[in-house]
Amino acid sequence: MHKPYKTISKLFAAAVIIFGGFSVFAQGPAAEDYGPSYEATLFVVLGSDDNAQRGSLPKAIDAVAKQIRDNFTFGSYRLMNTYYGRLANNGSLDYKSVSSLQNASSDIDSPTFLDWQLSNFRRDANSAGRPTLNMQAFRFGARVPLVISRLSADGGKTTPVTNYESVGLNLNRISIAENTPTLIGTISLPRTTGTFFLVLTIKPV
């Protein structure tokens, strides 16, 4: 006499289990936690003996500026540009742009094509337990216009003929301290005076 009710109860319980299973399945796996985000700031400083290019450097890189002045003998230093990117732990950064990144003493009006990358960024701890930031690779590259000849024009003027040459810096397996400006390399531009200094800072946000 009570069997129909028992059967209905069993069917209802089975339905709850089935639909409950579908509900869990629909939610899927939990979203992956990438950890904290980081800001990567690349300062490009030009050192030269052209006093007309003298300028101030950001206070954020005071310690590196002293390191540069202690080890190089240029008469003046100025900030050429600052590049910024944001990435997560185990992430990468890839930046490409058209830039005027060249020695201001040059009379070339052609743009410079620039790119820089941080690959496989990872936060670890050193033997003292302090955070250290590791990258599988760092690359900074530029295609720089060079005058290879000049064509005569009306009125005694000349028109420069330019060609592009690639310059850059590639580093593998680099480590820097967290939130500490670090001089990671230099680049000399062809047929110009001066040297570019690359200063990198990465800090959590």
The whole-number mean pLDDT for each consecutive block of 10 residues of the chain, a chain of 205 residues, reads: 53 47 47 77 91 81 95 90 92 87 57 90 83 93 84 78 87 94 89 84 94
Across 52-180, where does the E strand assignment appear? 76-88, 93-99, 112-119, 122-125, 131-152, 158-177
Torsions phi, psi for 156 (to 5 deg): 80, 5
Q: For residues 24 and 37, state if they share a domain.
A: no
What pLDDT was estimated at residue 127?
Answer: 74
Q: Are 192 and 49 a contacting pair, CB within 8 Å?
A: no
Give the domain extent around 193: 32-204
Tokens of 180: 């500490």
Tokens of 9: 């109860």
Cβ atoms within 10 Å, residue 42: 21
Domains contained in the chain, number:
2
Q: For residues 26 and 58, state if they share a domain.
A: no
Q: For residues 88 and 127, state if they share a domain.
A: yes
- Report the alpha-carbon distance of residue 135 to residue 85 in Å, rounded: 15
Q: Are 146 and 156 a contacting pair, CB within 8 Å?
A: no
Q: For residues 73 and 11, state if they share a domain.
A: no
Q: For residues 15 and 88, state if they share a domain.
A: no
Q: For residues 4 and 54, state if they share a domain.
A: no
Q: For residues 41 and 120, state if they share a domain.
A: yes
Q: For residues 75 and 110, state if they share a domain.
A: yes
Q: Which residues of 174-189 are buried (b: 16+ CB within 10 A; e: fewer)?
A: bebeeeebbbbbebeb
Q: For residues 63 and 1, state if they share a domain.
A: no
Q: For residues 13 and 96, state if they share a domain.
A: no
